[in-house]
Amino acid sequence: MVSDVHIAGVGMTAFGASPERTARDMFAQAAGEAFDDAGIDPDAVEELFYGNFMGEFAEVQGHQGPLMADVVGVSAPSTRIDSACASSGVAVRHGVNRIRGGADVVLVGGSERMKNISTAEGTEALSAAADALWEVKAGVTFPGAYSLMANSYFDEFGGTREDLAHVAVKNHQNALENDLAQFQMAIDVDDVLEAPTVSSPFGLYDCSPMSDGASAALLVSEAFAEEHGLDTDVAITGTGQASDGLALQDRVSIPETPAAVEAGEAAYEDAGITPEDVDVAEVHDCFTIAEVLALESLGFYEPGEAITAAREGETTIDGALPVNLSGGLKAKGHPVGATGGAQISEMTKLLRGDHVNSDAVSDATVGLTHNAGGTVASCAVHVLEVVE
Ligand code: COA
């Protein structure tokens, strides 16, 4: 039996456009908040795992592992993880495994700077997460790749643009009171359907935005939490990660994401739970179709059946399984290397009762986070539970 990994503190910057802020400046803020939240000093940290995807492109800054350790006052080993948009979800998993391997205090998180460059430059930088030989050379961008997945889903299982629009409307609604979200703005289905086309079938509101932001979490062992009398109400009880080929053309089925299936099953088994036990989820809705694919891959719905979940109110704030109460990537924002850590930060607050949307899930004891890289060529899933 593996031990629980307690979350002693979390922090994140507001996501959005802060083109003057460096990745290091934002990570210092997020980590500082996590240290304050936990009541732990940086010198207690035994290792740092840090997610970042496009630092070389956006601010000509590589080698960010030791850079970020220095910035936050940590003198322990520090590693930068690149797993595209799943970078900090994978960083969290490394932290969980390090605590299970015997460490007492590990800092995890990530940071990304995207709004200091143009949308065209950001699109080019992001496409490095696709297959350079077989996709990027043919002109594939991420809005384009996920459009292929959406159209393929419609062909295989049915569904409409309007079904997807409800996902965007729901996530914007959830973000209305979240001051850390990039868009605190209600939209309706007509807004989504009438928005300028980005890549058919997607309009502007089917897409997550480019964002600046950082996230951090302090993970501690059960023994450390007890010894120091830390108030750790939430623990990570399950972790799973899986990979797939980068190129969509090699997938057996375009509108399915087997890496998420595998990562989800591993996380459930690790935590000793089933999908039915999950009360609330934060999933990687980089495009509206991505939320649908996530819900099916994670076992909440059969393939082809999650397309109407938001429309039917099953995943809204008052639904049976509230999804993306933070606003998700769609409305909270998506600074890619920070997103997985932000899901942990938001879920921790939701479960311990100090998130603006906590009241909607006051009985929740089990939360799930799903963080995907590329067209889900990498995926990290975590189960968080309220512990005594
Ligand atoms: N949702 C809602 N509003 C958005 C938005 C989004 N995704 N993206 C931008 N906006 C708004 C901006 O706030 C701005 O509003 P304003 O005029 O009231 O200030 C306006 O739209 C134009 O913003 P801009 O930054 O110029 O957007 P753009 O048209 O250059 O780019 C996208 C929009 C959708 C193409 C771009 O955000 C994008 O490529 N997103 C996908 C990112 C991605 O692929 N991530 C990786 C996922 S795997």
The domain that contains 102 carries what CATH number? 3.40.47.10
Average pLDDT value over all residues in the chain: 97
- Report which ligand 1 atom has the smallest distance to the Cα of 182: 13
Please check whether residue 36 lies inside any domain of the structure: yes
Percent of the chain with pLDDT over 70: 99
Rounded average pLDDT over 214-227: 97
Q: How does pLDDT run across 38-72, given as a tens digit for each residue? A: 999 999 999 999 999 999 999 999 999 999 999 99
Query: Which residue, chain included where needed, has tokens 């000793």?
Result: 272
- Report which ligand 1 atom has the smallest distance to the Cα of 118: 30
- pTM for this entry: 0.98
Which one, of 88, 90, 68, lies nearest residue 78 by Cα? 68
Please check whether residue 199 lies inside any domain of the structure: no
Please check whether residue 19 lies inside any domain of the structure: yes
Structure tokens belonging to residue 36? 């304050």
171: helix, coil or strand?
helix
Question: Which residue type does 261 have?
Answer: V
Q: Residue 42: its pLDDT value, please?
A: 98
Q: Is the pLDDT of residue 190 over 90?
A: yes
SS3 content of the chain, % helix, strand, coil (to 5): 40, 20, 40
Query: Which residue, chain included where needed, has tokens 């393929």?
Result: 152
Q: What is the DSSP letter of 246?
A: S
Q: Is the pLDDT of residue 4 over 90?
A: no
The domain tally of the chain equals 1
Structure tokens belonging to residue 191? 């807004």
Question: For a substitution probing ligand 1, which of 57, 112, 113, 210 has the most ligand atoms within 8 Å of its CB?
Answer: 210
Please check whether residue 160 lies inside any domain of the structure: no
Catalytic sites, residue numbers: 85, 334
Which one, of 162, 182, 164, 170, lies nearest residue 325 by Cα? 170
Please check whether residue 177 lies inside any domain of the structure: no
Q: Is the pLDDT of residue 247 over 70?
A: yes
The overall longest dimension of the chain from CA atoms, in Å, is 57
What residue ranges line ligand 1, CB within 6 angstroms? 85, 119, 123, 126, 142-143, 183, 198, 204-205, 207-210, 286, 334
Give the Cα separation of 120 and 158 in Å (integer). Answer: 32
Q: Residue 3: its pLDDT value, please?
A: 73
Q: Which helix (H) or strand (E) holds 92?
A: helix 87-100
Query: Which residue, chain included where needed, has tokens 């077989």?
Result: 134
Question: For a substitution probing ligand 1, which of 113, 197, 204, 286 has the most ligand atoms within 8 Å of its CB?
Answer: 204
Please check whether residue 275 lies inside any domain of the structure: yes
Ligand 1: residue whose CA is nearest its atom 9: 209
Say which residues have a Cβ less than 8 Å from residue 101's Cβ, sequence separation at least 6. Answer: none
Please check whether residue 292 lies inside any domain of the structure: yes
Give the Cα separation of 33 and 216 in Å (integer). Answer: 8
Give the Cα separation of 45 and 47 in Å (integer). Answer: 6
Q: Which helix (H) or strand (E) holds 379?
A: strand 378-386
pLDDT band at 312 (very low <50, low <70, confident <90, very high): very high
Give the Cα separation of 105 and 79 in Å (integer). Answer: 15
Residue 136 CA to ligand 1 centre (angstroms): 21
Give the Cα separation of 185 and 277 in Å (integer). Answer: 32
Please check whether residue 39 lies inside any domain of the structure: yes
**Could you list the residue range(s) of the whole structural domain that residue 294 is in?**
5-117+209-382
> In the Cβ-directed half-sphere of 127, how many Cα atoms lie within 13 Å?
19
Q: How does pLDDT run across 84-108, given as a tens digit for each residue? A: 999 999 999 999 999 999 999 999 9
Query: Which residue, chain included where needed, has tokens 């179709």?
Result: 289
- Report which ligand 1 atom has the smallest distance to the Cα of 126: 46
Give the Cα separation of 378 and 371 in Å (integer). Answer: 8
Give the Cα separation of 65 and 77 in Å (integer). Answer: 8
Do residues 235 and 6 make contact, with C-beta atoms less than 8 angstroms apart? yes
Q: Residue 2: its pLDDT value, please?
A: 64
Q: Is the pLDDT of residue 159 over 60?
A: yes
pLDDT band at 35 (very low <50, low <70, confident <90, very high): very high
